[in-house]
Amino acid sequence: MDAFNGQKLDKIPAHVPPELVYEYDNARDPRLLQDPHARMRSLILEAPPIFFTPYNGGSWVVTRKKAIVDITMNPEVFSNAFISGAKDSQQSLSLLPISVDPPKHTAYRAPLNQPLSAKSVAGLESAIRAMTNELIDKVLAAGRCDFLSDIAEPLPVTLFMKLAGMPTDRLAEFRHLATQATSSTVDHATREGVFKRIAGILAEVIKARQEKREEDLISHLLDVNINGQNPTFQEMLGYSITLFLGGLETVVNALSFGVLRLARDQELQAKLRADPSLLPGAIEELLRLHGIASTVRQVTRDEVCHGVQFKKGDTVSLLLPAANYDDAAFPNPEQFILGRTEQHQTFNTGPHRCVGLNLARLEMKVFYQEWLKRVPSFRLDSQSPPRFMGGFNLAVTSLPLVW
């Protein structure tokens, strides 16, 4: 099996019981493209808790929170280690820290924890606020915008590229590469080409920082101590690509889906506008209702988990956005309810819980504070419905708003 293969299997593997087969194409499913998160909910209601899809090269799909947490916490059997961006004749490139398992993961992750801690990112608040207001200035008078291209892309991407020391004048190019890298419809060769281009761009940045340090994350990483030594160039590439993809893709979609929800729910929009102190709790609930990323594991030995026989070599997709609609974990999961205490899966769980979550939350809080203060009641443009994309990330590709 190859999780990155867009092909549909002709034949279901012998060890998969027929009753666990359910056809779901994570890139082209029509209901997914109509409303991605309604489709996540329908998978909970219609499909077996762990099912096998012949699409995407053949994969198990896990949708319940308990099973996802159990699998995530069992990296010995359900390993991340096979995830790689590109393999060539010289060496393979590992995305750090997400494509290694504990205990190596812990060593690679530690250098990111401090610069991305809540305390550290708090210093960025004024920059985020200024950037948000600059973007609002550009669209406010027009009474409309495409939220994705006018706000959601430039805000987190510009900020993250500055934080990481990447050149901000290449934003559109980078966004295109990031989108292609997380698509599951591009073929294998194209994806390899995309990752090589990303690696090439980042290699330039790393080499520049090797010559001269700046106040950025890449400079910081060059000097960290991992098991007694500084990162190698290959390790720096692995870190940089992960940061590139995480920073450029995930927050863009979290903001877009959140604003989409508010555009559709005028009552909630008015409530938050009237009482901004509700925003932190509202942001968590928006994040729960609109998970973005899923993760993939490879099975390292035959194992029965939650009643299902997994075989060595099987691919397992952990559908984090669907877990947020699991009734056993979140009563009335379709409802927006302030004050829920259960931890949502949008930032993953355990050792791989999203290293950038503090930055994401801060960006969202500051953005909503300014947007709801300055932009009057906004709604979807009835002439141009929003558009979506599937894959390993659920994505908005267009979001026209009017006010």
Smallest distance from the beta carbon of 299 to another protein, in angstroms? 22
Give the pair of three-digit tokens for residue 151: 């706000």
CB of 150 to another protein, least distance (A): 31
Among 38, 46, 110, 172, binds another protein (CB under 8 A): 110
CA dihedral 24, 184, 155, 33 (to 10 degrees): -30
Q: Please say whether the beta carbons of 299 and 288 come within 8 A.
A: no
User: Can you tell me which of 34, 106, 168, 377 binds another protein, judged by CB under 8 A?
Assistant: 106
Please tell me whether residue 102 binds another protein under the rule CB under 8 A: yes
Measured from the CB atom, the residue of 114 and 230 that comes closer to another protein is 114
**Of the candidates 346, 325, 349, the residue with the CA atom closest to the CA atom of residue 337:** 325
- Compute the least distance from the CB of residue 181 to another protein, in Å: 25
Chain positions 357 to 376 lying near another protein, rule: CB under 8 A, are: 357
Q: Phi, psi at residue 328, to the nearest 5°?
A: -70, -25
Q: In the set 85, 333, 351, 390, which binds another protein (CB under 8 A)?
A: 351
Q: Which amino acid is at 143?
A: G
CA dist 203 and 233 (Å) reads 8
Q: Nearer Cβ to another protein, position 32 or 355?
A: 355
Tokens of 386: 């929003």
402 phi and psi angles, rounded to 5 deg: -135, 155
Token readout for 142 is 């027009």
- Mark residues 44-73: x for contact with another protein by CB under 8 A, - for none: -----------------------------x
| x-marked contacts with another protein along 69-98 as a string, rule CB under 8 A | ----x-------------------------
350 binds another protein (CB under 8 A): yes
Taken in order 373, 379, 384, 388, is the CA torsion positive or negative?
Answer: positive
SS3 at position 92: strand
Single-letter amino acid, residue 201: I
> Does position 118 bind another protein by CB under 8 A?
yes
Task: Choose the stretch contacting another protein; rule: CB under 8 A; options: 109-117, 134-142, 152-160, 330-338.
Answer: 109-117
Where do the H-state alpha helices sit in 47-87?
A: 65-72
Contact residue for another protein among 65, 109, 261, 297 (CB under 8 A): 109
Question: Do 8 and 55 touch, CB atoms closer than 8 A?
Answer: yes
CB of 294 to another protein, least distance (A): 18
CB of 246 to another protein, least distance (A): 15
- 230 touching another protein, by CB under 8 A: no
Tokens 């960006």 locate to 363
Question: Contacts with another protein: how many residues (CB under 8 A)?
Answer: 18
Judged by CB under 8 A, the stretch of 116-124, 235-243, 296-304, 317-325 that binds another protein is 116-124
Tell me the torsion sign for CA atoms 91, 97, 100, 103.
positive
CA–CA dist 334, 274 (Å, integer): 24
Q: For the chain, state the CA radius of gyration.
A: 21
- Residue 276 as a binder of another protein (CB under 8 A): the answer is no
List the end-to-end C-alpha distance of the chain, in Å, as a whole number: 48
**Shortest CB 64 distance to another protein, Å:** 17
Beta bridge partners of 393: 293
Least distance between another protein and beta carbon 69 (Å): 9
Cβ nearer to another protein, comparing 284 with 381: 284
Interface pick for another protein out of 7, 34, 114, 266 (rule CB under 8 A)? 114
Residues in contact with another protein by CB under 8 A are: 73, 102, 106, 109-110, 113-114, 117-120, 122, 349-351, 353, 355, 357
